[in-house]
Structure 1
Amino acid sequence: MVEQGAGTKRGLVRLCRTLVRVLTMKRSDIVLEYFDVAVYREDFDNLQTGQWLNDNNLTFWFEYVERTELNDFNGQYPDWAIVLLRPSMVFLLANSDDPAGLVSALPPLDRSRYVFMPVNDNQMVEMAEGGSHWSLLVVDRATARAYYYDSLGDANLDDARTVAHKMALLLGVPGLKLYAVRTPQQANGSDCGIMVCMVATCLMRRIAAAAGTSLCEMPTAREPGHLRRLHNHLRGRYRDRASSSDPDSSACSDSTPPLPPRPDDTPPLPPRPDERLGSTPPRPPRPDAPAVDLTLDAEPIDAAFGRRLLSYTILDLLAKNGSVVGTNTDIAISSDALQLVADAVVVRPDV
């Protein structure tokens, strides 16, 4: 076994303990098992107003969209295929010294045109759930462009550059250019995760429209009757998390609050001047790869509606299918990964 440095070994030990904690959580804490994602009580509570979404929240939404719509879309429109990398995959890529060596651990990117990647500002490798801000990076393989969306200025610009560079090495696209796209800004310090989910959903709809079809059509806030009935159906199970009298204080309150108005007088963020960034992308280098408008200037991205949408999506799945939907194939993989980490680390009392 290769000797590890003291700092590296401590990091691996902390990572091992984190994996043990995650894999041994009580099953009573699980709200919903949806294929390869287990939604825990903490994840559901994160969808309340003012709470910060973790990587599992984003993973669930990507898994849901992929299972319900993207798989069929990619099969019917392979030239427009979209891959949604999970936050854990992006974290692995960002911290890898050999991106090409991750090919077997990632979805088949060579079959896709667009790669969506949630970017986190976590700088601590031993804390897979660390960081304090989410943003979105979208790579268009056909035009060799990467688009960066950030609801908090350019807070994650350096992290996005790192991920874009690693992805360029992985895809074999050394000329990949990064563009900062003006993005609707969040109104608080906790909506970055839900903004990533909603921006990604908006962009997928835009790509599908360019392909001549529809994708990710969402219910409007003016038609909440079905959502209210779902809540009433499950209110007994979640009574302890819906006790507040403030309708906005719980993700599953008795009355669905109206959407707040979008501040039209707030201009989008201009791109940061940089020789590798541009506000207006050049014409596509390939005539057979039609460009898609991936700007967000006219899109109403509403974080409050996004939180309700994710909450009621979980409730809808529970009402229609029970607490288990599909088969989780990642449990055995996670257990194997835990064993590999345990075998690689000598745990001593003084570490």
Structure 2
Amino acid sequence: MDEIIVNYHDSLLRKSDVRLLEPGNWINDKIIGFMFQYFEFELFQNCSDSVKFFDPDLVQLLKLSSDQDAGSILQSLQLHQRFLFLPVNDNGALMTPGGQHWSLLFYDKTSMTFEHYDSMEGANNYEANLISRKLRQVFPGSSSSVAQKPVPKQRNGHDCGIYVITITEQLVASLVGGHHWQATSLSSEQISRERKNIKEIILNRSSTLPSS
């Protein structure tokens, strides 16, 4: 039985989801969605007026919607925050989970610029540009290009989601702390530790510990 491990705000994680945090597994949208909610409601709760974390399902909907529909969705969100963080997936189906790669799209409303952080050297460039086009529906005058930021290339085919979570956390901390940070400072050891950290965060908010 795929028991529920944690029910946290809008995130519900089952045993099979948490198992993906073991080394060698590609993490899914549920893990990323949980961590973005953890950032919003706990780690960076004092930054809610300036930072917006998008749920992966919402980003997927925006990506595959028409420009007009995406614009209506974004308008309904009343995005007043300056910094927007959007996890990008290469899945081309709206109703079917999947995909092979995660990356991070970042938007700064003040400078009206987009940045793309991709640990597979631009594998999600098409998707990031597609989503940025949707955002321009509600932020006219934004840059017409997406800056590809340097990120250490992942050494395997499964750590991309961990990179997204780690880069998001580090980038938010630098923005609100007023210090400069570059994704090139990430190490493979840090990414490995982050898997363990995420699992601990999840289990610390659970009343049911997963059995082996």
TM-score, length-normalised on structure 2?
0.89
What SS is found at the alignment partner of 1:169?
A: coil
State the percentage of identical aligned residues. 27
Matches of 2:181 and 2:20, distance apart in 1: 29
Q: Please name the residue that 1:158 is paired with.
A: 126
Counterpart for residue 308 of structure 1: 196
Q: How many residues align?
A: 205
Asked if the contact 1:135–1:150 (Cα under 8 Å) also holds between the matched residues in 2, the reply is yes
Cα root mean square deviation, aligned: 1.9
* Alpha-carbon shift at residue 87 of structure 1 (Å): 0.4
Q: Deviation per CA, 1:113-143: give whole Å up to 9, x if none.
A: 110000000112331x121100000001100
CA distance, structure 2, for counterparts of residue 202 and residue 173 of structure 1: 28
The residue type paired with residue 132 of structure 2 is A
Tell me if structure 1 keeps the 8 A contact 2:5–2:15.
Answer: yes
Paired residue for 1:119, among 88, 94, 97?
88
- Distance apart, 1:177 and its partner CA: 3.4
Structure 1 residue runs of 5 or longer lacking an equivalent are 1-25, 211-291, 324-351
Give the letter for the 1:112 counterpart: Q
C-alpha deviation, 1:315, in angstroms = 1.8
Q: Give distance in 1, aligned partners of 2:31 and 2:151.
A: 21
Q: Give unmatched runs, 5+ long, in structure 2.
A: none
What residue is the counterpart of 1:167 in the other structure?
Answer: 135
AA in 2 matched with 1:312: E
User: Any conservation in 2 of the 1:55–1:87 contact (CA below 8 Å)?
Assistant: yes
> Against the structure 1 CA distance between its residues 176 and 295, is the aligned structure 2 distance closer, same or farther, given a 3 Å change threshold?
farther
Higher Cα Rg, which structure: 1
Q: Which residue of 1 aligns with 2:164?
A: 196
- In the alignment, is the contact (CA less than 8 A) between 2:5 and 2:203 conserved in 1? no
Cα deviations across residues 9-47 of structure 1 (Å, max 9, x unaligned)?
A: xxxxxxxxxxxxxxxxx7x62111112111111110000
- Equivalent position to 1:209, from 165, 177, 180: 177
Secondary structure at 1:171's aligned position in 2? coil
Task: Provide the residue aligned with 2:99 in structure 1.
Answer: 131
Q: Is the 8 A contact 1:121 1:133 kept in 2?
A: yes
Are 1:144 and 1:177, in contact at CA under 8 Å, matched by a contact in 2? no
Q: Which has the higher strand share?
A: 2
Deviations 1:243-276, CA, capped at 9 Å, x for gaps = xxxxxxxxxxxxxxxxxxxxxxxxxxxxxxxxxx
Do the aligned partners of 2:75 and 2:138 also contact (CA within 8 Å) in 1? no
Post-superposition offset of 1:101: 1.2
1:178 aligns with 2:146: yes
Which TM-score applies when normalising by structure 1? Answer: 0.55
Q: Determine helix, strand or coil for the equivalent of 1:91.
A: helix
Q: Deviations over 1:294-326 (max 9, x none)?
A: 5323344622111101111112223xxx35xxx
Give the equivalent residue in structure 1 for 2:74. Answer: 103
2-side partners of 1:174 and 1:145: how far apart?
Answer: 6
The Cα of 1:105 is off from its aligned counterpart by: 5.4
Task: Output the amino acid matched with 1:132.
Answer: Q
Deviation readout 1:69-109 (Å, 9 max, x if unpaired): 333223xxx4xx11000101100111111222103654x31
* Cα distance change, pair 308–105 in 1 and its aligned pair in 2 (3 A): farther
Q: For the Cα contact (< 8 Å) 1:47–1:311, is it kept in 2?
A: yes
1:183–1:316: structure 2 CA closer, same or farther, 3 Å change rule?
Answer: same
Local SS of the residue matching 1:67: helix
Dislocated runs of 4+, deviation >6 Å: none
